[in-house]
Structure 1
Amino acid sequence: MKSAPPPQEARRTDGVWITLADGRRLIDGTASWWTACHGYNHPHIRTAVEAQLGAMPHIMLGGLVHASVLVLARRLAGVLPGDLDHVFFSESGSVSVEIAMKMALQFWINQGESARRRFVSFSNAYHGDTFAAMSVCDPEEGMHAMFRGVLPEQLVLDLPDSPNGARALELALARHAPELAALIVEPLVQAAGGMKFHSPDVLASVVELARRHGLLVIFDEIATGFGRTGTMFACEQAGIVPDIITLSKALTGGTLPLAATVARRHVFERFLSDDPDKELMHGPTFAGNPLGCAAANASLDLFAREPRLEQVAAIEARLADGLADLRGCRGVSDVRVKGAIGVVELDRQPDLDQLRMRFVEEGVWVRPFRNVVYLMPAFVIAEAELDELIRAVGTVVSEVG
């Protein structure tokens, strides 16, 4: 914190543009950490939030309910695959992961299997910064290595990208199965852990092994959900319905904080009992906040009315073409594209503060981390705006090399 440069002051946003206090306008290449999928200040979302604000900005869900949260729960159950139709709302992605892990643990406790208290996660994983979520992040490459010995020790393995890797995963699961509650994975794209991609086949093999050994499967779709990888949810590309899924980020179109942990019927039924001790005892103060739910419902309207997935496909094609010239460029170790995600991986970590400043000088907001320069723009970005982002990446990356 002592050495970090002062942040840029933003004054307003519109579409894919950020206006700074000094009047400079930047094209946003990150959609505010991948949330503003429809662009900023979309009039449909704004109108919905304004109407909700006039009627009821917040109400507790303890013993009360409201129309926006009922509608949203039903709509999420309708767009999610399979029987993912029991929705628990919270206010942030990290908390939604905490709730998913708590559900998985209590799923087994409610059946008298309290020894199942550990989780399987993967190298390069990132699931959030709260305590349980930190424990399933990559303990070596992530931000939480200093808490080793304090965090619960989970089983962190490599994603199997070969037959040998699959065998190693199967052996580890077989050895530890009696103590494992669930496996948690970011499907297709491990985002904040390094923008690492894996195929639907790899994901399917991981899930098959987990289920063979009796583990619940949790998909963290906080970053990948709502169209980012080319389908509404990444799990669709592998034909998998996880036992529990976590959603946030683009859930409200980047307007308000809201998250959801959604469980399948067989998970829900393990909590359905005359015994009050079988209840899921968790109660975020702002769970199902009406303003957030109104924004999320309006965002789902836009996915239904406007060609968002077609726009993602167009972005994917343009990123693939525009970033291709950087392959083989000095200092670049890999270029990869998946949906509306373009990644240029460098062969070493540069001076990130300097790199971020150069992007501002080029008129764009791109925020590299570690050795990764990435673009995850709003789906409504125009071709000329996307081309400007690609140009800026090419210019700045070539300087690093």
Structure 2
Amino acid sequence: MTASLAERSLRSVWHPCTQMKLHEAQPPVAIARAQGPWLYDVEGKRYLDAVSSWWVNLFGHGHPHIKAALADQLEKLDHVMLAGFTHAPVVELSERLAALTGLGHAFYGSDGASATEIALKMSAHFWRNSGRPGKSRFIGLAGGYHGETVGALAVTDIAIFREAYAPLVRLAATVPSPDARGALDGESAADVTRRSAAALEAWLAEHHEETAALIVEPLVQCAAGMAMHDAEYLRLARTLCDRYEVHLVVDEIATGFGRTGTMFAHQQAGIRPDFICLSKGLTGGTLPLSAVLTTDDVYEAFYDDEVARGFLHSHSYTGNPLACRSALATLEIFEQEDVLARNVGLARAMDEALRPLSRHPRVHHARRLGMIWAWDVQTALPQFARRYHQHAMARGLLLRPIGNTVYAMPPYVLDAEAVQHLALGAMTALDATLAEETSAR
């Protein structure tokens, strides 16, 4: 008998962020094709991709504009090294990103973690080139996530990701998160923000001479269970970083490109960071690409006759033309279709459809920012996230809770049928999962 694709995968592929033994009971789902917000397995069953395939897919799978751009680029130039060479897609994309962010000289990587590595290295190297080599440590927020390479783990405060590798990691300092769910009795989200900022100020007052940068996921700490905070925190952090001469790095890898309602989350605070990290939605979910943009002051600190003062970081596919062209096509869709305005109407329709879930008696802290929804579920059921995921998949819905937080971060192309499918599936999957808790008593 011919082995299935799932069986062959288990014999040959090491799947990411996975305890492979769990697949003995739940084999991976073999996907044959995708179109719009839908994934189709090898047996023809469809699943609504309600998490945008790990938050990368903006406009649905197989978008014709992005496909056409890639086909055109493939006929011209597939790849050329970026050291000593350049090409139209990387130049045009860098110009577009500079216009959108107010920062310039884009440096390219392959994924979010590599963007984090680039920003941290660039910040520390800036201070070294500026005659202050002691400024080489970093600060992150409690519950922050910035990737899983060794440098990125230093500023990632998710224990399961970094404990096994602790001997390899030079840990950053951690200051309290402004997560609005941490409000004490009578406190508002803004109060939590001010309390958290006061802790940041106290830390910087003592340690700024050794600190290169603060890194923040603006408005939403996704891996911390979609922890959302008031934009005032970013304004206060910007003021404190200026006062104590510390770079502010905004990690917009997950929050960028319209996820929070604006093109970039930090724009809601009206601030300008020193570095911005981009990835995930940058190419519309088609090809791996990341970018770090920074200020002219940072760039100029590396501009010198001495090679060792340059930013000596690279990978073979830096600024790949195909990836850059798909990113350009993604930005063109934003412009041509007025996506941010259109998403306001889609979000309202989603809010209405999801109201029963938000009012479920076991749901707490129902929240939404832009095109991100989250619900904390009160349950003691072991392995709630895995059980919920299985019930959702059985209903043709891809949702992967983080701990006891169910969330949805769908593509921006849901029609009325897809909205109802998501809302009904999310609700019935929750009831089915909680029924397991009842039966186990």
Q: TM-score, normalised by structure 1?
A: 0.95
Equivalent residue, structure 2, for 1:151:
169
Cα distance in 2 between the residues matched to 1:387 and 1:206? 40
Report whether the alignment pairs 1:218 with 2:249. yes
Higher Cα radius of gyration? 2
Name which of 262, 286, 289 aligns with 2:317. 286
Letter aligned with residue 418 of structure 2: E
Aligned to 2:400: 367
Q: Is the aligned partner of 1:125 residue 2:144? A: yes
Deviation at 1:27, TM superposition (A): 1.3
Aligned 8 A contact 1:319 1:342 in 2: no
Secondary structure at 2:161's aligned position in 1?
Answer: coil
Aligned positions, number: 398
SS of aligned partner of 1:3:
helix
The residue that corresponds to 2:263 in the other structure is 232
Shift of 1:353: 2.8
Give 1:351 shift: 3.2
**Structure 2 alignment gaps of length 5 or more:** 1-19, 179-191, 435-441
Alignment of 1:161-176 (within 5 A): 161-176=192-207
Residue of structure 2 in register with 1:85 after alignment: 104
Structure 2 counterpart of 1:135: 154
C-alpha spacing 1:106/1:20, structure 2 compared with 1 (3 Å): same
Query: What is the 5 A alignment of 1:2-401?
Result: 2-4=21-23, 5-80=26-101, 82=102, 84-140=103-159, 142-160=160-178, 161-327=192-358, 329-348=360-379, 350-401=383-434
Alpha-carbon distance in 2 for matches of 1:100, 1:162: 25
Whole-angstrom CA distance in 1 between matches of 2:214 and 2:78: 37
Counterpart contact for 2:153–2:169, Cα < 8 Å: yes
Q: Deviations over 1:334-378 (max 9, x none)?
A: 211111111111234643332212111111111222112111111
**Retained in 2: the 8 A contact 1:329–1:398?**
no
- Where structure 1 has 5 or more consecutive residues not aligned to the other structure, the ranges are none
Match of 1:202, SS?
helix
Contact 2:193 2:229 in 1 (8 A): no
Q: Which string of whole-angstrom CA distances, capped at 9 and with x for unpartnered residues, describes residues 209-243 of structure 1? A: 22211100100000011111101111110001100
Percent identity between the two aligned chains: 37
Which residue identity does 2:42 align to in structure 1?
Answer: A
2:34–2:61 contact (8 Å) kept in structure 1? yes
Maintained 8 Å contact 2:224/2:402: no
Distance 1:162 1:374 in 2: 23
Alignment check: 8 A CA contact 1:228 1:312 kept? no
What is residue 438 of structure 2 aligned with on the other side? none
Q: In the aligned structure 1, how far is the partner of 2:44 from the partner of 2:169?
A: 45
| Structure 1 CA distance for aligned equivalents of residues 193 and 128 of structure 2 | 35
Distance 1:158 1:387 in 2: 38
- Deviation of 1:162 (Å): 4.6
Structure 2 CA distance, aligned partners of 1:79 and 1:365?
32
Letter in 2 for 1:352: A
TM-score after normalising by structure 2: 0.87
Distance in 1 between the 2:194 and 2:267 partners?
24
Cα separation, 1, equivalents of 2:287 and 2:420: 29
Instruction: Report if the CA contact (8 A) 2:257-2:282 is conserved.
Output: yes
How far 1:170 sits from its partner (Å)? 1.0
Aligned residue identity for 2:173: L
Give deviations 1:52-102, integer Å, cap 9, x for gaps: 11222111111111111111111111122x3x0110011111101100000
